[in-house]
A and B are shown apart, each in its own frame.
Chain A
Amino acid sequence: MSALPENCAACDAHLVSLACGEEAGVPVAAREHLLGCERCRSTLDDLRLAHRAASTLPLEEPDARVDAGILAALDAHLAGEDLSPFLRLPDPEQTPAAQPAAPARPHLTALPGGRRDEAPQMPLPRTVPARRRSMGGMAAAASVALVAGGALYFSRETNLATHRDDTVAELAPLMPEAAEEAAGPFADAPAKPPAGAKPAEEAKLEARDKAEAQATRRAAEPPTPKPMRTPAPEAKEKTLALVPPSEARMRAQLPAGPVAATPMPQELPADGRRGAALGGGGGDVDLDALRQIAAGSVAKDVGGMKLSGRANAGPAPAAPPPAAAAPRPAPMPDTSRSAAAAPPPPAFAPPLDEWERADSEPRAQRQEGASGAARSFDREKKAAAESLAKEDDAQAEKPAAPGESLLAFAQAALARGEYDKAAELFGKVVEVKGASEAVVRAAMKGRIGALVALGRLDEAERARAEYLPRFPGVGVSIPAAPRKASVRSFATESDAAPAARPEPASEAPASK
């Protein structure tokens, strides 16, 4: 032969085809090789043997009812009928229609310790538009999630400033100096995005952030009672019935046209103030503390501002619209001496239902004449509060996970204003072995907040640099605007702020 026969390896590739009878593609060289190669021939014989043995197995016949079913389907097809009844297995094409609607997105609920959990979505009335629902959920979360200083970094540049504006607007008739003082660090903060409708997603994220900030919320025992400035006696009876700012905003919007199309107010007040920086370094308004003040004559030092209040005896006026914050009211007389002579404050942290009870009557009065949507919103809020209370109870029964108790200590220290200790404890939580991701995340965020509150911005920046790569997915839940703002930029703005803001010289001395 002129051409060399294929070697065994090349011939081997064709043995299966030869054994199975597909000889068309087998080259002649392979056949010639088989003639002379005993090994390859033996292999082929083995394969053929297996092939022939397999062919002794008979073809299986299906039952006659299968043929009957197919022929019936054939007739139905020719008659133009639906063939689904003839399918015996689950039909993926029909599944979406047959199955019930997919469950709605789980409702995020804040749990004690700052953890978020997924709870069944609250039943919402069908008449409430989607935007209204999202705002209702946001307001419900905001009414129970209280923000302390640790949340400053993640929340200072967003529309949370709107909340501050609202709260300042509510407090302004009572404590103009305090509001002015609190407005300081944000007086020259970067301008907010242009006014317009807030995206629903952003609102959700905001609500989630507020829930997350509950990790850093702890009942702050007020330091030694200092001379407090209290509002005028007649005002004391009626004011400080605080309404969650988002709720107040929604109520203010209710009469004006369809709620779903009402944009969230974004613009700054007329005098350019950005709102109060209350609570542990100025993250957001510590509504809980304000409630304490309103409900139980508690004196509290929040954000360097001394607030005091008494139990809410009378009906509260409706929350003023945000625009009411623009004109600065006249300073109130200093009644700190009489407040200092007041009996010591009662124990802190009354239960949530107490707050709800105290708030229910004026709320009912305020709602007279309000739309059904507003009433449904209140029902949602109550349902959210009840859900949270139940989860609190359930959470109390659960054994503490590694690092959770330490995290609670750290958060308590943060709430007390012991930022040094808090930063140290948070750092230890991160090092706890077996700590859950939620605990570590809360600890890292709390540490950043504590460091920011301490003014150790370089360390805060480093802590942030550790946090971001570790929880890249979690970062999605943080609103976009604060994520973009770095601690360093915050520091720069904070340093520049006092120079640019107007000096509240005339009102400030009263509290100094």
Chain B
Amino acid sequence: MCEPQTFAPARSRPRRRAPEPDRTLLSELADEELFERFRQGERAAFEVLLRRHRAPLFTFVLRVLATGDRARAEDIVQDAFVRILRGSGDWEQRARFSTWLFTIARNLCLDAMRRDKHRRAESLDCPAGEGEDAGRPLGDTLEGSARGPEREAANARVRPVLEAAIRKLPAEQREVFVLREYAGVPFKEIAELTGTGENTVKSRMRYALESLRKSLAAAGVDGDLADEDVARPRATTVGR
């Protein structure tokens, strides 16, 4: 029922608008199925993949780079998708699409960080420092949700602390943490992606969480802040 659509107008028939692909159905498909459809020429399938992964991928790149350089993170995201397009002909459905995508992005991040070691430059987007008044303007990160003002205020107080704590994490812990928390990649896939064992990944995640907990405690954040309703589901279920 989700067969590839043909958009070539039939001359013998009266001209009519080509039917739009059923995006609702496409969005329910798994990544690998979508990519396979794209390989067969279905453009909309790739658009669904792009919509599905752009924000998690961008967040992952932004946090892994830890420089706050959004322009560079955007460059990496675009390059990752372009490389996906370029390598689509060679893709084999042995690994998950998300693993492939995040591996490409991770490698690009590593390259960028390697270059930055020699050419350190502060980004205008980079948070100026730490503390309550430092960091990115809160308006950039606040979501227009229907949460209560107290909750928003509390989150606004916590975010700079969290962001600073994440930036302080060692690169390998930060990588695992961001992949798990913001990209929703399971531990097993993270292990494949980073080329380490699953237990190692879990250990890194554990250390990262403990570091964050210490940072939150140092900032006076207790367990009351992170209520269950605040923690919203991440991309864990996306495409899986």
Contacts and interface: CB of A to CB of B under 8 A. Distances in A.
Nearest to B145: A58
Contacts of A77: 85-86, 88
B187 A87 contact: no
Interface in B173-198: 177, 180-182, 186-187
Nearest to B212: A50
Contacts of A83: 82, 85-86
B188 to A, nearest CB: 9
Interface string B190-227: 00000000010011011001101100100001010111
B81 A50 contact: no
A16 B206 contact: yes
A87 B158 CA distance: 36
B73 interface: yes
A179 interface: no
B130 interface: no
A56 B232 CA distance: 8
A62 to B, nearest CB: 4
B47 A71 contact: yes
Interface residues of B, number: 65
A471 interface: no
A78 interface: yes
A78 B41 contact: yes
B82 A52 contact: no
Interface of A: 13, 15-17, 19-22, 45-47, 49-63, 65-67, 69-71, 73-75, 77-78, 83, 86-89
B81 to A, nearest CB: 4
Contacts of B43: 74-75, 78
B103 to A, nearest CB: 15
A71 B43 CA distance: 9
20 contacts: A13-B199, A15-B206, A16-B209, A19-B209, A20-B187, A50-B212, A52-B228, A53-B212, A54-B166, A57-B141, A57-B182, A58-B142, A58-B143, A60-B55, A60-B73, A62-B77, A69-B82, A71-B47, A88-B75, A89-B76
Contacts, number: 153
Contacts of B113: none
A53 B216 contact: yes
B17 to A, nearest CB: 20
Given A54-B212, A55-B234, A87 B82 contact: yes
A358 B236 CA distance: 86
Interface string B22-44: 00000000000000000001010
Q: Is the interface of A mostly helix, strand, loop or mixed?
A: helix
Contacts of B97: none
Cβ-closest 7 pairs across A and B: A52-B226, A88-B75, A50-B212, A52-B231, A55-B231, A50-B213, A50-B209
Given A16-B206, A53-B225, A77-B86, 6 more contacts: A13-B199, A20-B205, A57-B159, A88-B78, A89-B75, A89-B112
A57 B227 CA distance: 13
A73 B81 contact: yes
Contact of A52 (B50, B83, B227, B235): B227
Contacts of A59: 55-56, 58-59, 182, 234-235
A46 B77 CA distance: 33
A53 B41 contact: no
B177 A13 contact: no
A60 B111 CA distance: 21
A71 B54 CA distance: 12
B81 A55 contact: no
A22 B186 contact: yes
A53 B234 contact: no
Contact of B210 (A46, A62, A69): A46
Contacts of B142: 58
Contacts of B199: 13
B226 to A, nearest CB: 3
Contacts of A57: 141, 159, 162-163, 166, 182
B236 A21 contact: yes
B43 to A, nearest CB: 6
B46 interface: yes
B186 A69 contact: no
Interface string B42-77: 010011001000111011001000000010011111
